[in-house]
Structure 1
Amino acid sequence: MPSQVHVDHAPWFTESRLGMFVHWGLYALPARHEWVMSLERTSVEDYAAYFERFDPDLYEPREWARSAKAAGMEYVVLTTKHHEGFCLWDSALTDYKATNTPAGRDLLVPYVQALRDAGLKVGFYHSLIDWHHPDFTIDDIHPLRDAPNVEELNASRDMNVYREYLHGQVRELLTNYGKIDYLFFDFSYPEGPLAVRYPGKGKDAWGSVELVDMIRELQPGIIINDRLDVPGDFVTPEQYQPAGAMMSGGKEVPWEACQTLNGSWGYDRDNMDYKSVDLLVRMLIDGVAKDGNLLLNVGPTARGEIDPRASATLTGLGEWMRAHGRSIRGAHSTSLVPPADCRFTRAGNRLYLHLFAWPLKVVHLPGLAEHVSYAQLLNDASEIVIEKLDPAQVAINTRPGGQPAGTLTLVLPVQRPNVTVPVIELFLNDESELA
């Protein structure tokens, strides 16, 4: 196994910067959190009510792909199976699958085809956890964790059998659908707050080393996340924004922030805690400025549609990305320190200044005077005047004082551009050696 995460074999990942996460399964029917089976301690027998009524008659993955593209996303990751154990594909290893519901078909086939037709990278999420499987031992997050006879129930369960099932299903997913670009496993908990009363599960439970070897053999170009309790190709901070570059083994590593629209991954009808488009754009910019990606989640309804609230958010994100995408795609961090309430990203010989707050008339950029040949607002390519102030000039009345030698001063319009976050595009001299 590698000693640290890497994506050298898949540079598309850190070029894309923005992807769509899709959590979709039986939990869309109760519509009150994707962990509803665990949170409400629901038995397999009672949960079957959702299996018997799963009928996504409005499912059209081409619309999902269209929404992702319009939002400026370049890859999509769909839950093939979440913790509830329900499979969206026609697995030969279980009857607990979409083909045996009123849906009556393999739901991954059109998904994969829709993404390929749209030029999007194809991603699968696959849960390591399975609350439906009869050999998956009961632990601190299992729906039956409070049953009076847990030890007796676990005595009849065999994780070796489940591990074989897990590996077999991953083999199906990576054999039957052509080239898969991305694989997100979820999740390990060998110790900590999720492994108190009963043993947790980590690399030994999943057979992670052998599993990764199989994946690399079947799909050599695929990238794998870091949740198998062994090193992956990138790390996945969830539901928080990292304060800086992510580290592993003492080195900076590729990372992807996994974020929800409203705190729930699956469709949660009554959850109104939606993030604004403004906040999401800032999160995206902030991540890229720290060399990270954003994987933004939607939870389709039980009929298979992205709900109107999520669609509106994607539309707003897409409006900003349409005009500002080149400050995000293919962009990376820089060692330059931006002014307060700003972020820098860089792509080639262009430096992008993202203004979270709109200043009065001028913004000063120390050390850049000799490195920038031209400046413009990115949204409309209108020129931003560059002013050279004499460092010796003393501030008096309406005359500003000079800035330190080498400072680039940009003269801004009083009116803020009517975009979510304004961006100034700075053209660097070819000989610029800025990091």
Structure 2
Amino acid sequence: MPTASTGWFETARFGMFVHFGLYSLAARHEWVRSRETMSQEAYDRYLDRFEPDLFDARELARAAREAGMRYAVLTAKHHDGFCLYDSALTSYTSQRAVGRDLVREFVEAMRAEGLRVGLYYSLLDWQHPDFTVDEHHPLRGTPAADEPRDMARYRTYLHGQVRELLTGYGPIDLLFFDFTYPGKGPEEWGAAELLSMVRAVQPDILVNDRLGIPGDYVTPEQYQPDRPLERDGAPVVWEACHTLNGSWGYDRDNHAYKDPALLVRMLVESVACGGNLLLNVGPTGRGALDPRARGTLEAIGAWLALHERSVRGAGPSGLQAPPHTLCTRAGRRLYLHLLAWPLSHLHLPGLAGRVRYAQLLHDGSEIRFHEVDGAEHEHVNMAPPGQPAGTLTLTLPVARPDVLLPVIELELTEEE
């Protein structure tokens, strides 16, 4: 069961994931070393050339805030074992490579912009000599796979590094572990002991579910739930994590970017089902956001600037959403996100007598409506043909509003 409050997390609803590391120089996916079964020597050509001169955490924090995000998560260490912070337990760090603690820069910049701070830590480590070679390891199928390795020593290293992150940078709001799989599970990670230590050091931190034991929230990846998530019949806090183009790390030749309108829809889908969206950016090898990523964030931010209250602090409506809509709710405000723009009228069964006022959210323009009561009497105009008693009918403009996803705000007569 969760032991920390998830209130801020469920209010925020939208966060930024940042994948940056040596793989960003390869520019062909963060798993490049495993995919191409690179030796450590071959991979270290990126270490020799690592110079993140355009990594500006303050600019990244501003971009996140202006996009409407309210928390951000940085890859402090990914599967390749390279640390973006000054670890006393290894020399394989950005501090040793270029004299910069990028985690510290990130944490300070996010706090300065009023954002909650999260850190990602990979449970895997392909550089550590005691991390056993498995099906994901770059050295699979080589003589190194038969060398003796000691996971107990690696486990001590893992716990020590997590303690460094939680004691060296002040309060951390969220810890994103990654990941558990067959052959590498809670026993290998010392998951129960690790989570106990995390709770002792930072009692208010939220921890995800990827240690292989229950955490504070669950993390569907590259998958969009279409209903609230449950465990043993009880609702759980969740966050869908998604990429812009299918790659977490910078992937120069991958142009399969999701359209900003689709990403806005995914954000609203998450909120309508009681979840969050963690949207990833992968800075270039020099540390900058590429123009496509920056443009996408700006487009989402422009939509959220007008529609924030349909997402921030909102959640499931508890109502059956009409066809081609997504429905969220915050108190007495019901928000209909229109996936398809209807011709002139939108019929809402069951809402007659329950709505005090209706407007388009982006410009605050009134939407007129009429309704059919339980006795099938119409109010204002004729009853809509074929609609049941209790139907509320909105009269919409013919022209679709020029926003990524139009939203109608309904003020209910009472909070239910």
TM normalised by structure 2 equals 0.96
Once residues 9 and 337 of structure 1 are traced to their aligned partners in structure 2, the CA distance between those partners, rounded to angstroms, is 29
3-state SS of paired residue (1:85): coil
* Residues 82 and 92 in structure 2, CA contact (< 8 A), matched pair in contact too: yes
Code of the residue aligned with 2:403 in structure 1: it is V
* Residues 226 and 269 in structure 2, CA contact (< 8 A), matched pair in contact too: no
Once residues 138 and 249 of structure 1 are traced to their aligned partners in structure 2, the CA distance between those partners, rounded to angstroms, is 35
3-state SS of paired residue (1:267): coil
Q: Which residue in 1 is equivalent to 2:129?
A: 134
* Residues 225 and 232 in structure 1, CA contact (< 8 A), matched pair in contact too: yes
Once residues 255 and 150 of structure 1 are traced to their aligned partners in structure 2, the CA distance between those partners, rounded to angstroms, is 37
Distance apart, 1:406 and its partner CA: 1.6
Structure 1 portions without partners, runs of 5+: 192-199
Matches within 5 A, 1:85-124: 85-101=81-97, 103-124=98-119
Code of the residue aligned with 1:329 in structure 2: it is R
Once residues 145 and 300 of structure 2 are traced to their aligned partners in structure 1, the CA distance between those partners, rounded to angstroms, is 47
Q: Which residue in 2 is equivalent to 1:423?
A: 407
Code of the residue aligned with 1:349 in structure 2: it is R
Once residues 149 and 26 of structure 1 are traced to their aligned partners in structure 2, the CA distance between those partners, rounded to angstroms, is 22
Distance apart, 1:400 and its partner CA: 4.3
Matches within 5 A, 1:357-376: 357-376=340-359
Q: Which residue in 2 is equivalent to 1:166?
A: 158
Distance apart, 1:335 and its partner CA: 2.1
Q: Which residue in 2 is equivalent to 1:336?
A: 319
Q: Are residues 1:36 and 2:37 paired?
A: no
Once residues 54 and 74 of structure 2 are traced to their aligned partners in structure 1, the CA distance between those partners, rounded to angstroms, is 17
Code of the residue aligned with 1:296 in structure 2: it is L
Q: Which residue in 2 is equivalent to 1:291?
A: 274
Q: Are residues 1:72 and 2:68 paired?
A: yes
Distance apart, 1:10 and its partner CA: 2.9
* Residues 10 and 222 in structure 1, CA contact (< 8 A), matched pair in contact too: no
Distance apart, 1:243 and its partner CA: 2.6
Matches within 5 A, 1:144-293: 144-148=139-143, 150-151=145-146, 153=147, 155=148, 157-189=149-181, 191=182, 200-293=183-276
Once residues 369 and 7 of structure 2 are traced to their aligned partners in structure 1, the CA distance between those partners, rounded to angstroms, is 35
Distance apart, 1:150 and its partner CA: 1.9
Once residues 46 and 330 of structure 1 are traced to their aligned partners in structure 2, the CA distance between those partners, rounded to angstroms, is 48
Distance apart, 1:242 and its partner CA: 1.1
Distance apart, 1:393 and its partner CA: 7.9
Once residues 122 and 243 of structure 2 are traced to their aligned partners in structure 1, the CA distance between those partners, rounded to angstroms, is 18
User: Larger deviation: 241-250 or 220-229?
Assistant: 241-250
* Residues 352 and 372 in structure 2, CA contact (< 8 A), matched pair in contact too: no
Q: Are residues 1:408 and 2:381 paired?
A: no
Code of the residue aligned with 2:264 in structure 1: it is V
Once residues 216 and 105 of structure 1 are traced to their aligned partners in structure 2, the CA distance between those partners, rounded to angstroms, is 28
Q: Which residue in 1 is equivalent to 2:289?
A: 306
Question: Deviation per CA, 1:353-385, whole angstroms, max 9, x where unpaired?
Answer: 000000011111111111110000000000000
RMSD: 1.5
* Residues 241 and 280 in structure 2, CA contact (< 8 A), matched pair in contact too: yes
* Residues 38 and 142 in structure 1, CA contact (< 8 A), matched pair in contact too: yes
* Residues 255 and 293 in structure 1, CA contact (< 8 A), matched pair in contact too: yes
Count of aligned residue pairs for this structure pair:
412
Once residues 171 and 149 of structure 1 are traced to their aligned partners in structure 2, the CA distance between those partners, rounded to angstroms, is 29
Distance apart, 1:137 and its partner CA: 0.3
Distance apart, 1:402 and its partner CA: 5.8
Distance apart, 1:313 and its partner CA: 0.5
Distance apart, 1:334 and its partner CA: 2.0
* Residues 288 and 328 in structure 1, CA contact (< 8 A), matched pair in contact too: yes
* Residues 4 and 203 in structure 2, CA contact (< 8 A), matched pair in contact too: no
Once residues 389 and 233 of structure 1 are traced to their aligned partners in structure 2, the CA distance between those partners, rounded to angstroms, is 45
Code of the residue aligned with 1:378 in structure 2: it is L
Distance apart, 1:249 and its partner CA: 2.4
Q: Structure 1 residues 27 and 363, CA, compared in 2 at 3 Å: closer, same or farther?
A: same
Distance apart, 1:148 and its partner CA: 4.5
Distance apart, 1:333 and its partner CA: 0.3
* Residues 4 and 204 in structure 2, CA contact (< 8 A), matched pair in contact too: no
Once residues 384 and 350 of structure 2 are traced to their aligned partners in structure 1, the CA distance between those partners, rounded to angstroms, is 19
* Residues 167 and 201 in structure 2, CA contact (< 8 A), matched pair in contact too: yes
Distance apart, 1:26 and its partner CA: 0.3
Once residues 114 and 70 of structure 1 are traced to their aligned partners in structure 2, the CA distance between those partners, rounded to angstroms, is 14
3-state SS of paired residue (1:95): coil
3-state SS of paired residue (2:369): strand
Question: Deviation per CA, 1:231-289, whole angstroms, max 9, x where unpaired?
Answer: 00000000011131112122110110000000000000000110000110111111111
3-state SS of paired residue (1:185): strand
Code of the residue aligned with 1:366 in structure 2: it is P
Q: Which runs of 4+ in 1 moved over 6 A?
A: none
3-state SS of paired residue (2:63): helix
Q: Percent identity?
A: 59
Distance apart, 1:16 and its partner CA: 0.5
